[in-house]
């Protein structure tokens, strides 16, 4: 089923019709190109290489490369034509959950075209309406740092926790404790889905155990909506930003090139991951750019910004 959306090129010699079709596809269809870009963005958001995605889906790298470059199966174009003829979204033909009832369609129409700020207000209002639990009274007493590796989550987090006299928790270490092996082995032995389940369990365990803490979260946590929503609901979140060059410089200085090891296009990969996750990181309560700052300056400025946002003269979460 998965491969029916991907072009299979027959081994037999092409006839005149094939030559015509190949000529027509010299300029790639904008729809297929956009779909390929979305797949590439989602992959980058999760920090997955094409090889990893191919291994987890059972598809070949060639098929994924074709898809990401806009060479999808013509059946997708047929579905789009049907949707256009029926004057309905393609998702309605495919069977997206948001088209499964009249009420879903009305909600889609209401939200269509709204800007990010309006959608954020709508999400918060819906979350409040359907929440089964009251607001976490300890939310502002847990500070969670999000961002790519090399942003300073561990270093600044430890410094902040020490001054606040609260535990510092690296969520990656908790994941390792729960699984009994490092995250790299979880991925290789059980796959990305298993890792995300451990990640979710680890976050819930930390929240249950620590009413006050500074938490350094894995960079890809934001790509899992359920886990990220738990983090946003129970922690005051701070996106530690840095330029791609700064991220890379710090990671190299640490002697750790994961997940870029052996990749000659490491910087391009990092930029794609950052671009794919930026909108998600932007959901944090506060952003703080650590680029071109000394460690001391970055810490003092972060501390002061937190104090101002949390409404205290000094960063106290007693």
pLDDT in tens, 151-168: 899 999 999 999 999 999
The per-residue pLDDT for 255 is: 66
Looking at per-residue pLDDT, the higher value among 31 and 23 belongs to 31
H or E element: which one contains 282? none
Q: At 199, is the pLDDT very low, low, confident or very high (cuts 50, 70, 90)? A: very high
Q: What is the per-residue pLDDT across 257-288, written as a single tens digit (0 to 9) for each?
A: 554 455 557 788 888 888 888 888 998 999 99
Q: Domains along the chain?
A: 2-130 (no CATH), 139-309 (3.40.50.300)
pLDDT band at 208 (very low <50, low <70, confident <90, very high): very high
Q: How far apart are CA 187 and CA 176, in angstroms?
A: 12
Higher-confidence residue: 31 or 262? 31
Please tell me the least confidently modeled range out of 72-76, 133-137, 214-218, 312-316.
Answer: 312-316
- Which stretches of the chain are DSSP H helices? 16-24, 30-45, 50-57, 61-68, 74-86, 90-94, 102-111, 116-130, 153-164, 171-179, 183-190, 192-209, 225-234, 244-253, 266-281, 295-309
pLDDT value for 55: 84
Is the model's pLDDT at 96 over the cut of 60? yes
- Average the pLDDT over each of 21-25, 58-62, 187-191 and give the range with the smallest value: 21-25
Query: Is 258 in contact with 247 (CB distance < 8 Å)?
Result: no
pLDDT of residue 2: 42
Which residue would you say has higher pLDDT here, 17 or 213? 213
Banded model confidence at residue 184, pLDDT cuts 50, 70, 90: confident
Q: Which of 312, 262, 223 is nearest to 41 (CA)?
A: 223
What confidence score (pLDDT) does residue 205 get? 96
Residue 311 pLDDT greater than 90, yes or no: no
């Amino acid at each position: 089923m998965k491969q029916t959306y991907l072009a299979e090129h027959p081994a037999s010699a092409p006839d005149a019709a094939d030559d015509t079709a190949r000529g027509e596809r010299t300029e790639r269809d904008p729809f297929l190109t956009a779909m390929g870009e979305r797949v590439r963005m989602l992959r980058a958001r999760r920090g997955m290489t094409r090889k990893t995605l191919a291994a987890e889906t059972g598809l070949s790298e060639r098929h994924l490369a074709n898809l990401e470059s806009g060479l999808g199966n013509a059946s997708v174009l047929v579905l789009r034509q049907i949707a256009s003829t029926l004057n309905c979204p393609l998702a309605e033909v495919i069977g997206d959950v948001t088209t499964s009832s009249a009420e879903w369609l009305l909600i889609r129409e209401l939200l269509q075209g709204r800007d990010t700020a309006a959608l954020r207000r709508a999400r918060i209002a819906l979350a409040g309406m359907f929440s089964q639990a009251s607001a976490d009274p300890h939310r502002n007493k847990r500070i969670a740092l999000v961002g790519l590796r090399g942003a300073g989550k561990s270093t600044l987090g430890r410094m902040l926790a020490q001054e606040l006299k609260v535990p510092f928790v690296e969520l990656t270490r908790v994941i390792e404790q729960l699984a009994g092996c490092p995250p790299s082995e979880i991925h290789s032995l059980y796959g990305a889905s298993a890792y995300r389940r451990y990640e979710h369990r680890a976050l819930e365990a930390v929240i249950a155990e620590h009413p006050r803490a500074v938490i350094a979260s894995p960079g890809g946590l934001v790509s899992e909506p359920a886990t990220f929503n738990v983090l946003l609901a129970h922690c005051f979140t701070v996106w530690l930003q840095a330029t791609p060059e700064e991220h890379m410089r710090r990671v190299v200085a640490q002697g750790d090139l994961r997940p870029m090891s052996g990749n000659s296009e490491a910087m391009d990969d990092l930029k794609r991951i950052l671009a794919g996750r930026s909108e998600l990181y932007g959901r944090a309560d506060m952003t703080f750019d650590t680029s071109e700052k000394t460690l001391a300056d970055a810490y003092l400025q972060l501390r002061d910004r937190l104090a101002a946002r949390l409404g205290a003269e000094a960063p106290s979460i007693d």
